[in-house]
Structure formats: C-alpha cells, structure tokens
Chains A and B, each alone.
Chain A
Amino acid sequence: MHSALLRTSKRNSGSTTVLALLTVTIVAFIGATVLFNSATRFQASTVVGGWQEALSAAEAGADIGVANCRGTAVSGASGYSTAFNSANGWSLVDPTNAQGNNVTYSSPLGYSYTLPATCNVPVMYQSGQCSSKLWATVTVDGPSGLVDSYGNQWFRVRSTGYAALSGFHRVSLDTPTDPNARHTNELRKLSLVMNRFTGQRLTTPQATRTVEVILQPATAFGAAIVANSSLKAVNSGFRVDSFDSRDPNKSTNGQYDPAKFQQNGNIYANFATPNISGDIYGNVNDVGGDLQSSPNIHGQINNNQGFSTPPVLAPSWSTIQSTPGNGQNFQTGPVSAPLNYVCSGSLSVNIQAPAVGQTGAVNIWFTDDFTGSVTVPVGVICKIWITGDMKTPNINNMNNNAADLQFYGINPPNGGEQKWETKDTTGYYGLLYAPAAQIKTGAGDIYGSIIGEDVNIKNNVHYDEAFGGVGTVIDYARASWVEDPR
C-alpha cells in the first residue's frame, strides 16, 4: 500500500507539470501571436511615417539648393555672402571634371561659381516620430538643355531625402500575389537591405524620396512698373495694361494694339503706399500696405509682395571699341558678341544700321551724365549703361520692340540717387532699369517697363509680356516641381 501511495503521488505530480507546461505554452503562444501581430502592424505604420518624413527631408534639401541659386542673384538670399560656398558644405560633384560637365557661371552679384555642386544636409535627429533621424543630399546643375531662347541658364535642383527606418525589414502587410493587394509597395518604395539605386548594402533600412525643382531666371523686366521708394501715377486717364508681341491674338505685327490689350501690366511697390489712379489692368503689389479692391484695379491686390531689384554693377568688358567721333555712328557686332563702347560726355546715340535682314548689337556705357538723344535702327539691339543722371530729349526705337533698347542705371556708391528724365512726347519702345534713380517720364506712352527708386509717370505704360526673359537676371523662381517615382 505504501508503494502504491507513492506511485499515485508521482502520477499526480507529473500531470500537474504537464498541465503547467501546457498552460505556459498556450499563454506564450497567445502572447507571441499578439506581439507578432502588434509588431508587424506597428512596423508597417512606422514605415509609412518614415516614407512621408523622407519627403520633408527632400524638400528641406531642395530649399537649400533653391536658396543658393537665388543667392547668386539676390544678396543674402542664400543666408551667406556667396552661394555654393565650400565653407557651407558645397563641393563639386566631379572635382577633376573627368566628365567634362563642370561649368563656371558669373553671378550677377559679381563672383563666380561652378556647377554641378552637391551638399550633404546635416542629419536632423528627432524623437517621438516615425523615424529617428532624417538627412538629405542636394545637387544643383545647369544642363545645356536648360538654356532658354534668351540665352539664360535655368537650374536643376535635385534633392534626395532619407529617413532611417527601425525594426524589421518589412514594407507593409501587402502581399503582391494577393488579388486583394492594394499596391502599397508600388507607391512607397523603400531601401531595406540594399540601396535600390546603387546596389550597395545598407546598415540601416531607409525610406528615400527624391524631388526635382527647375528654377527659371527672373529678369529685370518682369513687371510693367517697379518702384522702390515712391510711385506717383495720378494723371487723368492713366492706364497700365499689357500685350504680347509674340502672339498675333495679343498684338498686331508685334506691336501694342488697344483692341487686343491684356491684363498683365503688373505694378510692384516695394513700400506701403503707392499713389496711383486710373485703370490698372494687372496686379498691384506693395509691401506692408493696405490697398483695397477698387473698380479701377482690374487685377489682384497683394499687400505683401515685393519685387527684387538688385543693384546694377559697372560693366567689365574685356574688349572696348574707340569712341566714335563727331558725325560717326556706333558700330554693331553679332548679337552673340556685341561691340562695347565706354563714353564720357554727352554724345547722342546714333548707330550704324546693319544690312537689310541682318541683326547687330551694341553695348554703350556712359561714365557720367547722358543728355543726348537715342536712335536705334531696325535690326539693332542696344543696351546703354549710365553712371550719372540722364535727361534725353528724344528716343526713337525703330524696331518698335522694347527689348531692343535697354537702359541700365549703375547704382551710385554710398546709396546716392540718380535723376533720370525722358522728355519724349511721342512715346517709345524701351526698358528702363535704374533701381537707384528718380525717374520722370515724358508725355508719350511707354511700351516697355520701368524700374526705379522714385517713379513719377505721366503717361500710359503698355507692358510686353515677351519681356519675361529679357534683361539682367535678378532672381530665380521655381518653374516646376516633380517627384521621382522610382
């Protein structure tokens, strides 16, 4: 009996152990299942968040690239004294130019820089988000295919944003072979084990997204009227409108036609209170003002939109022609290689007309005041720089195209102001860019664009929309944004 009792006791003990193990196994299985399901769903969710955050990183990199492009034309736009500076992390993509793609550009602000250049945006750490760290790499270049018909270079900014992913190397719960799969993996492409572009093995799974931004040059004559300090245009019947010399529906023989006028005669006041009346067929913009809608303003009003007017620097030409004597004309060179003149005194500008059907170009710099008249024959593009004041009695641009006659006022040192007055009474086609000048116009209409410090207009202004690419580059603006779907 004693031995029987002991045997019974041992059987009971064994059953308890088995039951305990079974219970522990079941509980562990349930726990593991719960943990697995939770972990996979958490993982898939964090991957989605990381993928979205990678776009923020990419756009941050693109912003840096855009700021540096703008910094070549707008002082301080890049946040540094010079754009694409190696001190700020920029380096050449191809330091030895083995590919032969390096191009050196002249900044309108007076320095040179070489592209393609790249910059690694420092790692941004974060907590409590889907990805613990973000970083980006931005590259800026100017492919030869991105030169427009005015010869201006457009820039391409490509930025790749990275988000480090934690946890398993899992994309989503989608199974590609599942007929109910919803194509998550086609949308959110990740690099988990290998970099999907370079094939290199990764130490950390990554979400990467790349955006491409194309920047187009904004040139000096992007608006009908720009004034930096004051604008007075109060004559009765004053009118600002636009036409497009390239479009026969918006012009006649490339000239302004009142029956085909357009509504892109935009005005920018880089201050608060422009003094304007009459009909404005375009947008009116000021900085910090309180302009209200008016029946006479046929476009939109923006009280917080200025227009950049970088200073005009003195030309730096390597070859200069002799100043023509009395009774002699200025000569022209090919449009791609204009002849350059540096003059003093008060000559009138008379230019030798090219042969019929031919074109020519000439650049003239008056190093003091200019008081002569200007006649531009058919087929000639004339650009005039003036260091001092201007008072011209007559302007005759026989091309009837304002892009063929451009005036630039070189900014006086120490913030001085020039005085420019066009006393023309019959109107002319021309462009005036003198951001430090007090400009007063004559009684005739102006078919062009006026940019000055203090602008007093006594006549109508008809802006040619074809001027969008004409003149000195003063800024760069985003023309397109696209994300690489690969």
Chain B
Amino acid sequence: MATAIIEFHPETSAAAEPDDQRLIEALRSGAEPAYEELLARFQQPVYTLCARLLNDEGEASDVVQEVFLKVFRNIGNFRGQSSLKTWIYRITVNEAHNARRWFFRHRRREVELDTDPNETRNWRDTIPDSSRSPFDVAFDREQAILIQAALDRINPVFRSAVVLRDITDLSYEEIADILGISLGTVKSRILRGREALREELIKGNPGVQRQWRLVPKTAE
C-alpha cells in the first residue's frame, strides 16, 4: 500500500504569532525594513497562489499588487485575531475571486496582445537546472500543464480548497480561517476537490483510465 509522503504539521495557533506582532508594529510605525520583510516573506507565496487560482500570470501580477496595496493600507486595522499569513491569504483568495468574476464579465472576448511571459523572463529563469535531467524537467512541465488545466476546469470553490491545501501547504484550520467556513466544510471541499481533480485528469488522459502514475525520476 502506498504511504503518504507528507509529514503531519502540528496545528498552528490561529492568533498572530509574536514574530508577526513585531512585524505588524514595525509596519504601523512605517519602518522601511518591515515593508521589505513583508514583501520578502509573502510576495512569492501570494503570487504562486494567485497564479494557480487564476491560471493567468498577467492577471496574477495585477492581483498581487492589489493584495499588497490592501495589506499596507489596512495593516492599521488588523486586530491580530488570525495570523498575518492567514489574513494575507484571505485577502489574496478574495481578490483572486473578484478578479476572476470581473474577468468573466468583461474580458472574456478580449484578445491578448501582451507578449508571452515566458519570452520576457530573464536568462536566470531559462537556464536549465543541472541537478535534474532534461527528461524530468520536461515531464514535470507537462504534468504541471495538465494539472493546471485540470485545476482550471474544476469548481472554483473546490479549487481554492485544494490549492490552499496541496500547493500552499496550509492546515485545515488555516484554510477554514481563510475561507471563512467550518472545519467540516473544509474537509468536504478538499475531498470533493481532489475527486474532481482526479476525474479531470483521467478525462484529460484517455490512455490512463483507472489511475495515472508518474514515471520514477531518472536523475535520482
């Protein structure tokens, strides 16, 4: 029987941690290092979360800016009832949800004129990672495209739960706090999201009817 590879994380406290409190106070007083620290800690995960929820890197960039604008403007009103991380992720999920709704209302028929973001990457991003074989890199990229497409097809309610759990690696309690739902609902959404994702992946890979497996890494 296959075993789970993820380690169990002890549940984190819902309230703001002391480190968060120090950062929040520094942000409120306008200390420059605090602003840099906040960006250093959260810009990458927030961007990844947006990109996975929206499947559009350009849209994700806009949403990330909106998120940090709200964070900077509302840090004075943050009461510390939840951790800084869950508060920022809650804003991110809400902004991504609003952007998606706006996108479907207004921009569905627009033609993309921007260049492909992959073409505008700098040379560091395009140099291959020497620690992994080209086959692994290509295979993972293909799988990522497949899974992102499957994610994009499932219900956004389930997608948020699965992305927060399996990509952002948050606990069930944190997800409940972010989405503003009960723990039972979180469990249900993650289960149904994973089921839906599994079905979409099977639909997207007709050759793999009952299960789809990954080929072991050749570089390891």
**A, B bound:** no
Where the two chains meet, the residues of B that have a C-beta atom closer than 8 Å to any C-beta of A are: none
